[in-house]
Structure 1
Amino acid sequence: MSLGLNEIQILEILDFIENEIDQKSALEGRELIATLISGIPCETKTLSEEYNSEKIYERGEKMDNHVFTGTAWLNMLVTADEVNKNSVGVVTFEPGARTNWHQHPNGQIILALSGEGYYQEKDRAKRILNKGDVAKCPADIPHWHGAAPDKEFVQIAVTSRIGGSTQWMSAVSDEQYND
């Protein structure tokens, strides 16, 4: 905290430690932070609940596939079916994480919930997305989206499944990402 981090940022760092390094160390870190913040020991569960209460939706499942660079989590809210052809998912990107180039036969809508994100269509300038911003991806236009290099980004992706599924393409190079 003396370095300028707030409680939520420290908890995000501890989440990273838990997911990528060691659960026990993350647990010890949460207990230490709880003691420092309140002056009295409290249960780790309470801190996790506090962290999640800052978010509208939970982080979801870590995505382990080849169509993302970096770490992202998906919380599917609505799965497309015969009644409703739209899927709705909350995607949380760690800083620097991003999708590959891809396109949707019937387009996509990105709703920025928190953090700072990027959105770019092929042959267009990259847009910076902040809380409350909306990006409307046209049908069959290659694009990518993800987090800024130093901030997490949380988005809702509304994707129509009419006309087929997402068509994934090549990874976004570091040069494209940083341009």
Structure 2
Amino acid sequence: MKAPFKAAFFIAALLTLGCKEQTIPQAGEVNELQAIFPKGEPGPAENFTGKAWNYGVVDNDSTYNTLVGNVYFEPGARSNWHIHPSGQILIITDGEGYHQIEGEPRQALKKGDVVKCPPNVMHWHGASPTIGMQQMYILPKTEKGIVKWLHPVTDEEYQNEN
């Protein structure tokens, strides 16, 4: 085989191996999310509607005073309303979902979105009804406290776009 033909053949082989067929989910199908971290431990039913799992990525300590973790929400799952004394940063790593600050419209979330939840502000977050969501959370200044869990998000609140 001549060098130019070998190179073209090699590139074509690589492109063929790297191509994946993209499928569009049909009604009723659940999209599998691409996990970065293990699923973790189930979230307590008293703090979540539906199924959510938490995996700790960075444990809290007295040097960094920061907690980092990953939460996977199954479709339709959501947190209760809650407050973080020093706020929270969410990084959506896959799927689709929602976030809402008390008194503001519900915000749609997708992979790549970053949300800053202000300190001492009531909010909730979770997956869309049909597609799960994975998020990394960052809790800074944990010496001020971690979280105060409040009441569940009602179905009406969850479904309301405004």
Bin of the TM-score, shorter chain as denominator length: 0.7 to 0.9
What is the DSSP-based 3-state SS (H/G/I as helix, E as strand, rest coil) of the residue aligned with 1:95?
coil
* Corresponding residue for residue 127 of structure 2: 147
TM-score, length-scaled by structure 2: 0.77
Higher relative contact order (CA 8 A, sep 6+): 2
Q: Does 1:84 align with 2:67?
A: no
Say whether the 8 Å CA contact 1:117–1:128 is kept in structure 2. yes
Task: Tell me by how many angstroms 1:10 deviates.
Answer: 7.1
Superposed CA RMSD in Å reads: 2.1
- Residues 1-179 of structure 1: matches in 2 within 5 Å? 5=25, 12=32, 54-160=34-140, 161-179=142-160
Partners of 2:125 and 2:88 in 1: how far apart?
A: 11
Larger Rg: 2
Say whether the 8 Å CA contact 2:85–2:147 is kept in structure 1. yes
What is the DSSP-based 3-state SS (H/G/I as helix, E as strand, rest coil) of the residue aligned with 2:143?
coil
Any gaps of 5 or more consecutive residues in structure 1? 13-50
Aligned length: 135
Identity level (%): 40
Task: Tell me by how many angstroms 1:64 deviates.
Answer: 3.0
Any gaps of 5 or more consecutive residues in structure 2? 1-23
Partners of 1:67 and 1:125 in 2: how far apart?
A: 22
